[in-house]
Amino acid sequence: MTKTLNVGMVGYGFMARAHSNAWVKAPHFFDTGYKPVLKAVAARNTGKATAFAQQWGYEAVESDWRRLVERPDIDAIDICVPNDLHAEIAIAAAKAGKMVLCEKPLARTEAEALPMVEAVEAAGVPNMVWYNYRRVPAVTLVKRMIDQGLLGHIYHYRAKFLQDWTISPDVPQGGAATWRLDVEAAGSGVTGDLLAHCLDTAIWLNGSIASLTAMTETFVKERKDAVTGAMRPVGIDDASAVLTRFANGSLGTFESTRYARGHKAAYTLEINGENGSLAWDLHDLNRVSWFDHRTPGQLRGWTSILVTDGEHPYLGKWWVPGLIIGYEHSFVHQVADFLDGLASGKPAAPTFRDALETTRVCDAIIASGKSGAWVDLGAAG
């Protein structure tokens, strides 16, 4: 019998749209035994929240997230607000016995994230962080290929996430649209916002990072505050470049920036192993590039796997073979896996505990960017 799962959304921005779409779509395509119901959305700006509720079909609007958390008819709280609000909401929701889903990064720092992990674990409530790119079918296929041992011993992992929307010094910091540039709200800049995705995928595919050294830079030193209009120093990293050693002995190189003119969301990754190499590019997200060194000489070369077959991860639930899917489907898959996890009792990853590791690595990058030193993360080889 299908159970209902009443969702309480906190926030109404870009990510709240991506998540709401996923809550709506998942039960239409995946048979999980649960039917999410968009019960209520909470935001201080009730005008915008009401418009959002109407657009997506939420039954009610609350002007304060605390009222949402107190409501006995809400099963799961979905947190889609700036990073500085994650901890307070998640901890209160866990204490109220709600399932908690939190937009990435889990928190601004590991110190802030740890009590969140403790709260959900103490309450025993299902929890998950929205690192959605794991669930692009081609990326999930990469995971499957690595787990099947196709690459053999891994030597290199490299990833980058490039954007260009903050190059102008006229882009303000703070406020509803540009909080990602305000260190108080965001915790860090591109490291927590963009590189965190690369790190989450990397840790999932290639294991823990044992040590790292980083360069970070803030190219525009002062920006106007979007609310007060006053100029104030910029505290975020505009770019980060990181060298890592993984616990499995492989070397990693990572880069993130919002100063790469021409790039809007250029997330790419490549992995080199003893038997072959794998590469993926968000802008061609249904494709895995694969080089198999064991293929006989004259046929050996890069091949392009179009990930659109029923036997590919998640694809059997969508259309007919050959038809492509997109960015929003990664969120739908995350909801489907979360609901599956409720049914099976095997929690969908990344849990808050899993995502703590990514936050720890982000902290180490920011610290190394300041000190120039290598940071030992204590991950056993």
Closer of 181 and 315 to ligand 4PW (Cβ)? 181
CB of 193 to ligand 4PW, least distance (A): 5
Closer of 19 and 71 to ligand 4PW (Cβ)? 19
CB of 343 to ligand 4PW, least distance (A): 28
Closer of 256 and 277 to ligand 4PW (Cβ)? 256
Q: Give the single-character DSSP code of 348.
A: P
Measured distance between the N- and C-terminal CA atoms of the chain, rounded to whole angstroms: 46
The 3-state DSSP class for residue 22 equals: helix
| Residue with tokens 């190499």, as numbered in its chain | 277
CB of 380 to ligand 4PW, least distance (A): 30
Distances in Å between the Cα of 291 and the Cα atoms of 92, 185, 270, 273 are 49, 42, 11, 10
Could you tell me the sign of the dihedral formed by the alpha carbons of 23, 334, 9, 123, in that order? positive
Q: Contact residues for ligand 4PW (CB under 6 A)? A: 193-194, 197, 265
* Closest of 78, 59, 64, 66 to residue 8, by C-alpha: 78
Closer of 191 and 213 to ligand 4PW (Cβ)? 191
CB of 358 to ligand 4PW, least distance (A): 12
Closer of 281 and 309 to ligand 4PW (Cβ)? 281
- Strand 76-79 with 99-103, pairing: parallel
CB of 109 to ligand 4PW, least distance (A): 17
Closer of 5 and 90 to ligand 4PW (Cβ)? 90
Cα(243)–Cα(195) distance, integer angstroms: 13
Cα(296)–Cα(305) distance, integer angstroms: 18
Cα(12)–Cα(43) distance, integer angstroms: 7
DSSP states along 203-231: HHHH--EEEEEEEEE-SS-EEEBTTT--E
Closer of 17 and 39 to ligand 4PW (Cβ)? 17
Sequence-distant (6+) residues with CB within 8 A of 296 are none
Closer of 251 and 265 to ligand 4PW (Cβ)? 265
8 Å CB contact between 260 and 111: no
Q: Which residue's Cβ has the minimum distance to ligand 4PW? A: 193
CB of 240 to ligand 4PW, least distance (A): 14
CB of 200 to ligand 4PW, least distance (A): 10
Cα(224)–Cα(231) distance, integer angstroms: 4
CB of 130 to ligand 4PW, least distance (A): 8
